[in-house]
Amino acid sequence: MVARSGSMAASGTLVSESNTDRCGHRLTRRALVSRFVVPVSARREAKPSGGRFEPGATRISQGLEKLGKRVGKCARAGSHPLLAALALILAPPAVAKPDSVKFREVTFTGYTPLASAAELARRTLTPLDAGGLKVQPGQQFIDLGSEQFIMRVPATPPSGRFGVLVFIPPWNDGRVPEGWAPALDRFGFIFVAALRSGNDQDIMGRREPLAILAADNVADLYPVDRDRILVGGFSGGSRVAMRLALAYPDLFRGALLDAGSDPIGNRVVPLPPRDLFDRFRQTSRVAYVTGALDEASLQLDVESILSMRRWCMSNISARRVPGLGHDLIDGSALATALTQLLRPPADAARTASCAARTVAGMQSKLDEAARLAGSDPRAAQGLVERIDHEYGGLAVPRLTDLARRLADGRR
């Protein structure tokens, strides 16, 4: 790890587009990644426990640029909520105040299989979308030798081991949000964030793997309590943080969502495989913190929380910060959110009946799809795709087996 001290500040402008163009709503996460694999020959071996970086393997930016233009046009009042959510992900960042807190710029060297292309696809895409991607074993999107992160480490951890807050910003430069230092020190949290991980960067090709690699490297370099590794973000970065908390509960034990969230259980934010989702539901916590004047983000918070409840997630807290618009929370609100996130999760038995009903409903739909496969393949295919979008990884392996059976029948 190479490091140097410094402090930085920058600002951006929040842009909101609104027009009356007609827009289709067939917007999917697959659109973000459908063109990212490019054949390459050059490889660099990573540490023994991880994969390898393959130069040129990501080509998502052009697709995101086109998608951003489309979503911006569609994100008017009354448009589809998922379009509104992605419009905020792709929008330039809100203006943020500079911070004089000292930090280090660092370069990490360690790779982890958790950040591989195949693992990201398995966890963050629907099974059918993931199955349509061709990736090489161990392929990594990120060349860590070309990446920099900012990191702020408290002088001493209060309990002997540090917590870690991996922050995903909407901007591309490096900064620790103003006023956060006292709360980070009080709770003993290392703050780490990747540079060039803003709203204009690839989600699956950069923002998600950079956050995963940051958490993994910090945990290797410092005495870290792995039950206190959190992921958080602001605005569009908060939405990426929510996706990672959902898909990686074995790495991130909670999510700090500052003015940004989405409903889960759809093709844009699919559910991960069942073992991971059960772990998320039982052991993770999610803290929604949004300004009381930020009406658009508050509405998305409501939709996100309702979806969490529907999928039997009860370890949630939500707070509206008085007088705050679409801006970063202050240190006091951060301390309150960290307190919530560090509370023990609720007894999973409280939601066991909810989870059982969910699985039973899914199995009933899979049974129907299997019955239709023999008599009406077209209807069966439509039902399989709806199950894929709604239940995601929860429906594996029956869903993928049915999809293969239907594909074989068309040959």
pLDDT digits (tens, 9 = 90+) for 200-235: 999 999 999 999 999 999 999 999 999 999 999 999
pLDDT single digits (tens) 299-319 = 999 999 999 999 999 999 999
Task: Give me the CATH topology for the region 2-20+24-346.
Answer: Rossmann fold (3.40.50)
Q: Could you tell me if residue 259 is left (phi over 0), alpha (psi between -120 and 50 degrees) or otherwise beta?
A: left
With H, G, I as helix, E, B as strand and everything else as coil, classify residue 281: helix
> Which residue ranges in the chain fall short of pLDDT 70?
1-102
Task: Compute how many other C-beta atoms are within 10 angstroms of the C-beta atom of residue 212.
Answer: 25
pLDDT single digits (tens) 279-294 = 999 999 999 999 999 9
pLDDT single digits (tens) 61-103 = 333 334 343 333 333 334 444 444 445 444 544 444 444 346 8
**Spatial distance between the Cα atoms of 303 and 113, rounded to a whole number of angstroms:** 33
Classify strands 224-234 and 254-258 as parallel, antiparallel or unpaired.
parallel
Domains in the chain: boundaries? 2-20+24-346, 350-410
DSSP 37-75: -------EE--TTS-EE-TT----HHHHHHHHHHHHHH-
| The pLDDT of residue 99 | 41
Order across the sheet with 139-140: list the strands.
Answer: 44-45, 52-53, 139-140
| The pLDDT of residue 159 | 84
DSSP 380: H
| The pLDDT of residue 2 | 55
**Spatial distance between the Cα atoms of 74 and 147, rounded to a whole number of angstroms:** 34
Q: What is this structure's pTM?
A: 0.79
